[in-house]
Amino acid sequence: AGLGGSLTRLGSASTLPPGEAREGQKAADIAISPDGRRIYASNRGRLNTVCVFEVSEDGALRQLQQVEAPAYPRHIRLARDGSLLLVAGQHDGVVWTYFTHYKAAQGGLTWSGTAVRGPPTT
């Protein structure tokens, strides 16, 4: 942020895989790793994925990975230390957890094998 809290746009990137049609796809939430080098964004609709971006020194984004997420991933949150990403599915109330590996060179997500069911989110 600049003086007075103003923001400067450095660029943009699609959360969809290359060649994927936008129709029926919506982004819902983002999370940023503690070191600011990874951004996680949800795709809800036909794909239902979480997209991982690498943030370069100049602020450019490079898509690293797409991982399967619970149906209609609405909310995503990082654990305080950044080691886990929690993803809540809007329609079925399931929360999946992923290991972030954000400190590693390629820094992708791997599913932890844990899913918890609760009330659906809105």
Q: Is the pLDDT of residue 51 over 70?
A: yes
pLDDT of residue 54: 93
Q: Is the pLDDT of residue 1 over 60?
A: no
Between these two residues, 122 and 102, which has the higher pLDDT value? 102
Mean of pLDDT over the chain: 88
| Segment 91-110 mean pLDDT | 86
pLDDT of residue 2: 64
The DSSP call for residue 14 is -
pLDDT in tens, 69-97: 999 999 999 999 999 999 999 888 899 99
Residues 6+ apart with CB under 8 A from 107: 33, 37, 38, 52, 54, 64, 100, 101
The residue whose two tokens read 């209609």 is: 72
Q: What residue spans define the domains of the chain?
A: 26-117
Q: Is the pLDDT of residue 122 over 70?
A: no
Task: Provide the whole-model pTM.
Answer: 0.86
pLDDT of residue 46: 86
